[in-house]
Amino acid sequence: MPEKKEKFSNILIRYQLFFCLLAAALAVAVVTVATYRQYKSAYMNILAEIRDQQTKLMEEWFNERVEEIAQLSQSVAVKENNFEQVKNLFAECLSHTSTCFEDLAFADRKGNVLVAGALEQPEVNIADREYYNLALEGESNVSEILISKLNGKFTLVVSSPVVSEEGEISGLVIGTVNIEKLEQMLSFWNIGQTGSLYLLDRNGIMITDPYTTLWPVAHGTVDKTGKYRFQLDSGAIRELKLGESGYGDYDSFQGNRVLGAYRQMDNFAWSIAVEVDKAEVVQPFRQKLLLSLLVIAGIFALMLYPLLKFYSRKLMLPFEQTTAQIAQYAENAEQEGVVYQKAEGSPGYQYQEIAVLNRALQKLSEKMNELNNMMRVQALYDPLTGLANRRHFFARGQEIIELVRRKGSYCSLIYFDIDGFKKINDRYGNNIGDQVLIYIAEVLGRIARISDVAGRLGGEEFAVILPETDEKGAMQFASRFKKYVEEIPVEAEYQSFYITISIGVATVKPDGKERESSTKMMEELINQSEKAMLKAKEKGGNRVELFSV
């Protein structure tokens, strides 16, 4: 009876401990979710405040530009079509350091530009522009992003009709806005490392700082109408096209998860969007959460330590008994057949449980062997390309040199580097750069012999050791490999482009009588072929060079 009470007590304590830990985990989860929502809501309010302030600032800025152009359109020189005075007036306005316009122009009712800056009759017609039609209806306008017919640059146009003394519209005055001025205004706010604040027209076309970045240039273009064909497509843009304003958690036009706030201007067909990568926002919260969890874990450890210390003594006794029983089981299993099914309380009852434990240990051993094999592969081969890493390549090279030494044959090594690899990473990103390295490894797998050994020595540098291959054979292999690479484009993540490589070749014929070690010969082969590769680089790349003294 006392033994049963003690057993029941142990089970009860274990269940109590389990439910206490479960309750603590649930409490931490609830507090974490509530805290995160509060933290996220506060950050959203900050983004919304930046959005509202920037929207107000941009509306005031647009109103000022419209007022400037309206004043020019009502000047006496413009109404009287005095081109010389109009040129002087425009030149004076553009000479001010505070001006936000790159160019000013005056067009007649037919859309013919009569004066553009200091030029008279520049032979430009703007009748196909929307702002021209609005001017004929008596409306001032701030256009969407266009390619200026005056200077060929991306711009937005501020226009205002010219009304004669008789009340008729005789033409219009336009001003092309300096985009850099807008970029400076939007760069005022510091929104973290990944934050962006950009201006959008009614079509969701981005016209401020992000439009000069590599991503949209690689994915968009410009058509003959002068409009950006690259239109953003994200949760914010779709809401803005429907006339909605707000903030939320959505995917940006680049596919990143962001926290953003967006709003349309009240008096212009433009919108403001401010976004920050969600990962950057959540990182400080995660750090605080981790610290809190560590504190909670420390408190639990201090509270449970006396209890764990007490149970550690009791736990040792069953382990010692199990060890003795396993030894007895193994001895009996060797000497005679073990009966697994025994009545509870009989001397052999424990053998059934020990047999189960034995099978579990065997499975564990098999898993350990699999992990050891996996670790061995990771220690010898490059995880990205699957080629031999520098250490394994060097070891295999020593073995091959010893083999060709005994046969009295040649051994060659080609060393190559991808031309302009850094530019590929800068232009397309590291993910596509990795795909280029994988592509090189795949090409080597297609053209290399079974006896050849290819390795990635670091970065974009690779090498292939060719056993029983003289200079002529190595040069033929290198030329065939170079031609294959330069003629077949790399296809990765909807991108297609060509690459070239620079190859250096070195050959050695080990003499069995020589005392030079295979290690030293391998080092010389690598150094010689690398020098030849650098020589190919100096000559412009995309070529094969043979090492010569």
- Of 86-90, 211-215, 516-520, the least confident: 211-215
| Residue of higher predicted confidence among 476 and 90 | 476
- Of 11-15, 249-253, 367-371, 482-486, the least confident: 11-15
CA dihedral 425, 428, 434, 437 (to 10 degrees): -80
- Of 147-156, 188-197, 238-247, 424-433, the least confident: 238-247
Both tokens assigned to 201: 């027209």
User: pTM higher than 0.85, yes or no?
Assistant: no
pLDDT score for 436:
93
Q: Rounded CA gap, 515 and 397, in Å?
A: 17
The three-class DSSP label of residue 439 is helix
Q: Rounded CA gap, 507 and 547, in Å?
A: 8
pLDDT score for 196:
75
Confidence of residue 476 (pLDDT cuts 50, 70, 90): very high
Fold of 390-546: Alpha-Beta Plaits (3.30.70)
pLDDT score for 5:
47
pLDDT score for 15:
57
Query: What does the pLDDT average to over 427-438?
Result: 91
Query: What does the pLDDT average to over 114-121?
Result: 69
pLDDT of 197 over the 70 cut: yes
Contact 502, 417 (CB under 8 A): yes
Q: How far apart are the first and last CA of the chain?
A: 94
Other CB atoms within 10 A of residue 133 CB: 13
Contact 413, 464 (CB under 8 A): yes
pLDDT of 113 over the 50 cut: yes
Both tokens assigned to 509: 């014929």
Bridge partners, residue 246, by sequence:
262
pLDDT of 14 over the 70 cut: no
SS (H, E, C) 331-357: HHHHHCCCCCCCCCCCCCCHHHHHHHH
The three-class DSSP label of residue 467 is strand
| Residue of higher predicted confidence among 311 and 285 | 285
| Residue of higher predicted confidence among 395 and 511 | 395
User: Strand 411-418 to strand 246-251: parallel, antiparallel, or no bridges (unpaired)?
Assistant: unpaired
pLDDT of 281 over the 60 cut: yes
Q: Which helix (H) or strand (E) holds 492?
A: strand 490-492
- CA-based nearest residue to 268, from 167, 406, 157, 368: 157
Query: What does the pLDDT average to over 63-77?
Result: 88
Query: What does the pLDDT average to over 108-118?
Result: 83
Annotated domain spans of the chain: 390-546
Bridge partners, residue 453, by sequence:
465
Q: Tell me how long the chain is.
A: 549
Confidence of residue 545 (pLDDT cuts 50, 70, 90): very high
Q: Rounded CA gap, 119 and 83, in Å?
A: 10
pLDDT of 480 over the 90 cut: yes
- Of 28-32, 509-513, 541-545, the least confident: 509-513
Q: Which residue has the tokens 């702002």?
A: 131
- Of 2-11, 58-67, 414-423, 500-509, the least confident: 2-11
pLDDT of 105 over the 80 cut: yes
Q: Rounded CA gap, 232 and 206, in Å?
A: 7
What average pLDDT is seen over the chain? 78
Query: What does the pLDDT average to over 61-77?
Result: 88
- What percentage of the chain exceeds 90 in pLDDT? 24
pLDDT of 305 over the 90 cut: no
Query: What does the pLDDT average to over 396-409?
Result: 90
pLDDT of 392 over the 90 cut: yes
pLDDT of 57 over the 90 cut: no
Burial class (CB in 10 A: 0-12, 13-18, 19+), 183: middle
Both tokens assigned to 222: 């410009």
- In 109-256, which ranges are E strands? 113-116, 119-120, 141-142, 146-147, 154-155, 157-163, 169-177, 196-201, 246-251
Contact 176, 149 (CB under 8 A): no
Selection from 270-274, 307-311, 341-345, 522-526 with the highest mean pLDDT: 522-526
